[in-house]
A = this chain, B = another copy of it.
């Protein structure tokens, strides 16, 4: 992805707000699952939503580390996957203020410069956009799980 100064339209703070709006919606989806289904129910042999949300959390944490330390190597999470909604939400919420601080503080030139990352050479911008896209993708799958359980999901357009 290339950027040109002349026609840039999205600020780091707007990207932060966009990301956090999605994270807030995903949090509501986590809360919408019955606790006994969050880590067990799925469709088509896919992972339960609790596991998908843990992946999202790990990708957010990867980006947070990169943004704050410039270390973009991949480290497996040091903690075991959560087995309860409370533990999942605690990990989720711990990232929220940290991301709020990290993203606007990034240097725009560095943020848009291709670098060696866990999944190839790309700017931090692309890594953050991928985190958001991946979260929307898997959260949409959670909507199907909720519908299959007869539960109305949170409104998609509310952030």
Interface on A for B, CB 8 Å cutoff?
1-15, 17-18, 22, 43-46, 104, 108, 111-112, 119, 125, 129-130, 133-134, 136-141, 143-150, 156-157
Contact = CB atoms under 8 A, between A and B. Distances in A.
A14 B18 contact: no
Query: Main SS of the interface on chain A?
Result: helix
Given A3-B14, A147-B46, A156-B134, A9 B140 contact: no
A67 to B, nearest CB: 12
B134 A137 contact: no
Contacts of A125: 9-10
- Select the residue from A8, A119, A137 with max chain B CB neighbours within 10 A: A8
How many copies make up the complex?
2
B9 A4 contact: no
Contact of A136 (B1, B13, B136): B136
Contacts of A150: 44
A136 to B, nearest CB: 4
Given A3-B14, A157-B119, A9 B144 contact: no
A150 B149 CA distance: 20
A6 B147 CA distance: 43
A129 to B, nearest CB: 7
